[in-house]
Amino acid sequence: MKIWALREGLQTERMRKTKADEIGGLPRTAAGGPLCVKQSRKEGREGMKYLVTAKEMRQYDANTAEKIGISPEVLMERAALKALEAVERYCGEKKGTAFVLAGMGNNGGDGLALARLLCEQGFAVEVMDVGDRGRASALREKQSRILESYPVKTVTGPGRQEYTVVIDAMFGIGLSRAPEGVFREAVELVNGLDGYKIALDLPSGVDSDTGRVPGCAVRADETVTFAFCKRGLMMYPGCEYAGTVTVADIGIGERSFFGEEPGMVLCDGTARSLLPPRRADGNKGTFGKVLLVAGSRNMAGAAVLSTRAAYRIGAGMVKVITPEENRVILQETVPEALLGTEADLEKSMEWADVIAFGPGVGKGGEALACLEKVMEGSDRPVVLDADGLNLLAESPSLQELTAEQGRAGRAFVLTPHPGELARLMGQPAAKLKEDPAGYGMQLAGRLHAVVAAKDARTFICAEKRPVCLSLGGGSGMATAGSGDVLTGVIAGLMAQGMGAYEAACAGVRIHGLAGERVSARIGEHACMAGDLADALANL
């Protein structure tokens, strides 16, 4: 996304007047993994990329047919034509053989329409029905009758081991359980054939909303998904089955929403397009003051990482409240930082534009006392991470205070990893990993805060805002201190005037881009948190 913060959410006039750069990079799996997304059109306001559930997609499909008046037959033909484009991109001018597995729903109808188009282009086409014809949809049966006039073979199994293209049109978004019986056999058949495998809308066996694979699933080389990208194509493990994802425009767009926009968007864009603008006549005060409460006695690493990140992302000044024992190492590693102790906290909070609390502070009495001062003695925006989140989880009274202040308008950003989110929600981490976005939204609503639920995929959740999914980074970022860097990034963006939700979305995306850069340079195994902070330069 060309982050919508630059469109509607920034706190400063200079940002409201700024026009962001054009969208840059597209999402991938960890540092060059198999997932690549192509857009057949610019999607959404300001380049936003919507991610839809199966229910949302069915509603938009129905709205397009019933309220706008574009018939389902026209939409199906457009879908088939877009799938044909994918075949032609792969094959070029060469014609070959095609094997189409068609289910009994409208996804099967898309496959039959594509079989007809491939036949017209000179392909030798075989179609295998998967399921009970007695339960076929009306649109699917209409395509079947049309196909009777074409020299397409209807078969009960493949006539060869290798095809030029193999088309998976069995389920689309219609899957509600693990494939069983003939459906499981069909999925295994596809995976065993040689040829370029294209899934229509979604690889069969992948849950459209969650990306879970409850049984087996087709491993596609490319997925052509229609109108909007489905959530399951962006989440693990579904993204590993999708191959290249092409979002194809078939005529269902924003006008099909009728006031019901999707609940999730993709966090995309280059770092340059997401960073706030710099005033040519600005000074260190212009670009914001971060107060960082971090580190514990003789444990300065987290404070160093967060401070460097806040400076690298553009904050004008960073003051670190940390034990006296950490002063020398901070002066040596980040000489730009201002230093203070707990005794300076009250005055420092008045000085700051944003407060970041938690990296490396521990859970002792001194840390709790500092957090209570931050919560009770200031109205400044707060970024809570690490032990700050653990202290919050253990204090119902602080949670009540957070909710009260958040409801009144104080900005909070919480950045929990799965374990921290589990403690805040009072649920097992394994359960939360099944639906991190849902639990993140629950926590955001309960505390009236922005929640960046971190994992291999990060979900930024806030009340009355779409969940923002970030794909970037990779396994190289699963290293101690990575979250400390993110804390500094988000705090630095907020100090420069970004709203909490906008800063969290941009910060997570930029953090991921830094991780990708480091992994590409030195490899995912060698990545360290300090590398991430350094990579923020010149993104």
Question: Are 221 and 244 a contacting pair, CB within 8 Å?
Answer: yes
pLDDT grade for 349, boundaries at 50, 70 and 90: very high
The whole-number average pLDDT for the span 421-432 is 93
pLDDT grade for 7, boundaries at 50, 70 and 90: very low
d(CA 437, CA 451): 10
Peptide bond into 237 cis (omega under 30): yes
What is the full DSSP assignment across 425-469?
HTS-HHHHTT-HHHHHHHHHHHHTSEEEE-SSSEEEE-TTS-EEE
pLDDT given for residue 473 in this prediction: 84
Question: Are 288 and 353 a contacting pair, CB within 8 Å?
Answer: yes
Residue type, 412: F
Residues linked to residue 320 through DSSP beta bridges, in sequence order: 292, 339
Helix (H, G, I), strand (E, B) or coil at 473: coil
Q: What percent of the chain has pLDDT over 70?
A: 91
259 sits in the region (left: phi over 0; alpha: psi -120 to 50; else beta) called left
- Element (H or E) spanning 198, and its range? strand 194-200
d(CA 214, CA 458): 22
Question: Are 28 and 36 a contacting pair, CB within 8 Å?
Answer: yes
What is the rounded average pLDDT for all residues in the chain? Answer: 90
CA 238 distance to own-chain centroid = 13
For the chain, domain boundaries: 36-267, 271-535
For the domain 271-535, what is the CATH superfamily, name and number?
A: Ribokinase (3.40.1190.20)
Residues linked to residue 224 through DSSP beta bridges, in sequence order: 200, 246
Q: 251: closest CA among 66, 42, 63, 70?
A: 70
* Structure-block tokens of residue 286: 């212009």
Cβ atoms within 10 A of the Cβ of 362, count?
17
pLDDT given for residue 41 in this prediction: 45
pLDDT given for residue 22 in this prediction: 25
Spell out the residues 6+ positions from residue 117 whose beta carbon is closer than 8 angstroms to its own: 80, 81, 84
Position 43 pLDDT exceeds 80: no
Position 380 pLDDT exceeds 60: yes
Question: Are 499 and 316 a contacting pair, CB within 8 Å?
Answer: no
Paired sense of beta strands 382-384 and 222-226, if any: unpaired
Say yes or no: do domains 36-267 and 271-535 share a fold.
Answer: no
Residue type, 426: G
Q: Summarize pLDDT for 317-333 with one digit per residue, the tens.
A: 999 999 999 999 999 99
pLDDT given for residue 268 in this prediction: 84
pLDDT given for residue 9 in this prediction: 38
Sheet holding 124-129, edge to edge: 36-39, 244-248, 222-226, 194-200, 162-169, 97-102, 124-129, 153-155
d(CA 421, CA 354): 23
Position 3 pLDDT exceeds 70: no
**Residue carrying structure tokens 């923020």:** 536
Cβ atoms within 10 A of the Cβ of 133, count?
10
Cβ atoms within 10 A of the Cβ of 32, count?
13
Residues linked to residue 193 through DSSP beta bridges, in sequence order: none
Assigned CATH topology for domain 36-267: Rossmann fold (3.40.50)
pLDDT grade for 433, boundaries at 50, 70 and 90: confident
pLDDT given for residue 246 in this prediction: 96
pLDDT given for residue 57 in this prediction: 97
Q: Summarize pLDDT for 166-183 with one digit per residue, the tens.
A: 999 999 998 878 999 999
The whole-number average pLDDT for the span 219-231 is 97
Position 450 pLDDT exceeds 50: yes
Question: Are 460 and 468 a contacting pair, CB within 8 Å?
Answer: yes
Q: Summarize pLDDT for 194-212 with one digit per residue, the tens.
A: 999 999 999 999 999 999 9
pLDDT given for residue 127 in this prediction: 98
pLDDT grade for 38, boundaries at 50, 70 and 90: low
Dihedrals φ, ψ of 45, to 5°? -60, 140
Question: Are 226 and 202 a contacting pair, CB within 8 Å?
Answer: no
493 or 432, greater pLDDT? 493
Spell out the residues 6+ positions from residue 521 whose beta carbon is closer than 8 angstroms to its own: none
Cβ atoms within 10 A of the Cβ of 285, count?
10
d(CA 176, CA 187): 15
pLDDT given for residue 286 in this prediction: 92
Q: What is the DSSP letter of 296?
A: B
Position 471 pLDDT exceeds 90: no
Q: Summarize pLDDT for 50-95 with one digit per residue, the tens.
A: 999 999 999 999 999 999 999 999 999 999 999 999 999 999 988 9
C-alpha gyration radius of the chain: 26
pLDDT given for residue 175 in this prediction: 82
Residues linked to residue 460 through DSSP beta bridges, in sequence order: 452, 468
Question: Are 99 and 128 a contacting pair, CB within 8 Å?
Answer: yes
pLDDT grade for 39, boundaries at 50, 70 and 90: low
What is the full DSSP assignment across 78-108?
HHHHHHHHHHHHHHTT---EEEEEE-SSHHH
Q: Summarize pLDDT for 148-171 with one digit per residue, the tens.
A: 999 999 999 999 999 999 999 999
pLDDT given for residue 8 in this prediction: 35
pLDDT given for residue 243 in this prediction: 97
d(CA 354, CA 365): 23
Q: Summarize pLDDT for 229-288 with one digit per residue, the tens.
A: 999 999 999 999 999 999 999 999 999 999 999 999 998 889 999 999 999 999 999 999
d(CA 103, CA 112): 9
Q: Summarize pLDDT for 296-320 with one digit per residue, the tens.
A: 999 999 999 999 999 999 999 999 9
Question: Are 186 and 156 a contacting pair, CB within 8 Å?
Answer: no
3-state class percentages of the chain: helix first, strand second, coil last, to nearest 5: 45, 15, 40
